[in-house]
């Protein structure tokens, strides 16, 4: 197991390290048990795919621990270090040669009958979806207290720039540079074709309610990993979190190279000569 080998590698260099197995998906009850670590580590090295890093971001990264993501999965937008470069990257981390990149998070607060029933901090997205076999749902959306529209759709994605290359991209939303300070609202298969993705500033508070009394027809998902039932009468308020994620990147990291490689964009390299 690569994590155990890495733990031994740290031990050989007199670096205190603990090895923990983390499931990318967790129940709501499991998720809310995570609290700030008693002893804050200097760094966290995450071995896995983007889903594993998202889980680590919510559970430890949001407390200010810089994360180095090593890709053992598929796409790897967040876990940008290939396994072949693991140990050189960790050497650079220990010697302070990696660059820190700060990313915004979303905070989602759900209110039910006048009481807050849950609060989540997410790195990628908050999604309101219809449940299995449900029809189109109506979602009343307001921004900073001003009514925007009622989306008739399969659901609605609210994502960060980091999350713009996830579900948002599949739903036809735009790609944002990951360090930008803004959110995207992207309807999922909207009934009204003029309902297009909307970019809003990071100071926005987005409020969502079900438009029709259809108890149990919707579910909130946080980073695609934790689900929470969303009933008629509930309200979810989504805003910029006070917490941020810091990802560690090598000096030669380039987001546009990642896009071209991961999304398999074609074209030729143009070199201008004088």
CATH superfamily to which 2-103+243-262 belongs: Probable inorganic polyphosphate/atp-NAD kinase; domain 1 (3.40.50.10330)
Residue with tokens 């009622």: 150
- The pLDDT assigned to 211 comes to 87
Is 50 known to be catalytic?
yes
- Identified catalytic residue from 50, 125, 154, 234: 50
d(CA 71, CA 83): 6
Residue with tokens 């580590």: 41
- The pLDDT assigned to 23 comes to 64
In this structure, which CATH number among 1.10.1740.10, 3.20.20.70, 3.40.50.10210, 2.60.200.30 belongs to the domain 105-242? Answer: 2.60.200.30
3-class secondary structure, 63: helix
- The pLDDT assigned to 274 comes to 46
pLDDT tens digits for the chain (274 residues)?
Answer: 788 999 999 999 999 988 888 765 555 555 555 555 667 889 999 999 999 999 999 888 888 899 999 998 777 888 889 999 999 999 999 999 999 999 999 999 999 999 999 999 999 999 999 886 667 899 999 999 999 999 999 999 999 999 999 999 999 999 999 999 999 999 999 998 899 999 999 999 999 999 876 656 799 999 999 999 999 999 999 999 999 999 999 999 999 998 998 888 876 665 655 4
What residue spans define the domains of the chain? 2-103+243-262, 105-242
Give residues with Cβ within 8 angstroms of 14, minimum separation 6. Answer: none
Q: Are strands 218-222 and 182-188 parallel, antiparallel or unpaired?
A: unpaired
Contact 33, 118 (CB under 8 A): no
Q: What is the pTM of this model?
A: 0.89
Instruction: Express each pLDDT in 103-129 by its tens digit.
Output: 999 999 999 999 999 999 999 999 999
- The pLDDT assigned to 241 comes to 96
């Amino acid at each position: 197991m690569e994590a155990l080998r890495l733990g031994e590698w740290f031990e050989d260099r007199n670096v205190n390290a603990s090895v923990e197995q983390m499931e990318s998906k967790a129940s709501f009850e499991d998720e809310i048990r995570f609290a700030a670590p008693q002893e804050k580590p200097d760094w966290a090295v995450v071995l896995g795919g983007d889903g594993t890093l998202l889980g680590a971001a919510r559970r430890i990264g949001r407390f200010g621990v810089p994360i180095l993501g090593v890709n053992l999965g598929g796409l790897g937008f967040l876990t940008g270090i290939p396994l072949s470069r693991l140990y050189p990257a960790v050497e650079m981390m220990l010697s302070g040669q990696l660059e820190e990149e700060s990313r915004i998070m979303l905070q989602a607060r759900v209110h039910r009958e006048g009481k807050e029933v849950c609060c989540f901090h997410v790195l990628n997205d908050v999604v309101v979806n219809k449940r299995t076999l449900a029809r189109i749902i109506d979602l009343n959306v307001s921004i900073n207290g001003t009514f925007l529209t009622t989306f008739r759709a399969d659901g609605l994605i609210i994502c960060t720039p980091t999350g713009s290359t996830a579900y948002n991209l599949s739903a036809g939303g735009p790609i944002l540079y990951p360090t930008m300070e803004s959110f995207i609202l992207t309807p999922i298969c909207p009934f009204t074709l003029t309902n297009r993705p909307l970019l809003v500033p990071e100071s926005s508070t987005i409020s969502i309610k079900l438009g029709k009394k259809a108890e149990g027809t919707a579910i909130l998902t946080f980073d695609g990993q934790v689900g929470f039932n969303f009933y008629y009468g509930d309200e979810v308020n989504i805003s910029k979190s006070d917490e941020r994620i810091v990802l560690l990147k090598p000096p030669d990291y380039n987001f546009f190279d990642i896009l071209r490689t991961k999304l398999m964009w074609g074209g030729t390299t143009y070199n201008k000569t004088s």
